[in-house]
Amino acid sequence: AQSVTQPDIHITVSEGASLELRCNYSYGATPYLFWYVQSPGQGLQLLLKYFSGDTLVQGIKGFEAEFKRSQSSFNLRKPSVHWSDAAEYFCAVGVWKAAGNKLTFGGGTRVLVKP
């Protein structure tokens, strides 16, 4: 069975600084990978996705993630954090099953942004 680990429960970063969130997955085949963000009072918003092809994926809000098969990782990065990036971030691996993508989520990383 697939699993996802987000090692950092909380991260505090200064506004304008760079951000990297770690995600490691376990899955026997080539995974479908996703990052979602949940801002306070909001639902889960898709930041970016990887299905195949270029291992560096660009997403919304200036985020990018890199798929590294050898490390079973899909880390999320942003060069310069804005105060509005304070939120909880979830990495997920998807398995195509029964005509749908069944997601397994990591535990989430809560990002605090200092002024």
Partner 1 sequence: EAGVTQFPSHSVIEKGQTVTLRCDPISGHDNLYWYRRVMGKEIKFLLHFVKESKQDESGMPNNRFLAERTGGTYSTLKVQPAELEDSGVYFCASSQVQRNSPLHFGNGTRLTVT
Query: Among 19-27, 45-53, 65-73, 77-85, which window interacts with partner 1 (CB under 8 A)?
Result: 45-53
Comparing CB distances to partner 1, the nearer of 38 and 75 is 38
DSSP 37-53: EE-TT--EEEEEEE-SS
Query: Among 20-28, 66-74, 77-85, 98-106, which window interacts with partner 1 (CB under 8 A)?
Result: 98-106
> Which residue among 59, 106, 111, 113 contacts partner 1 (CB under 8 A)?
106
State how far the alpha carbon of 39 is from the alpha carbons of 16, 31, 42, 63, 86, in Å.
19, 26, 5, 15, 7
Comparing CB distances to partner 1, the nearer of 4 and 19 is 4
- Distance in Å, CB of 107 to partner 1, minimum: 5
| 105 lies in the site for partner 1, by CB under 8 A | yes
CA distance 100 to 37: 21
Q: Which residues bind partner 1 (CB under 8 A)?
A: 32, 34, 36, 42-46, 49, 51, 90, 94, 96-108
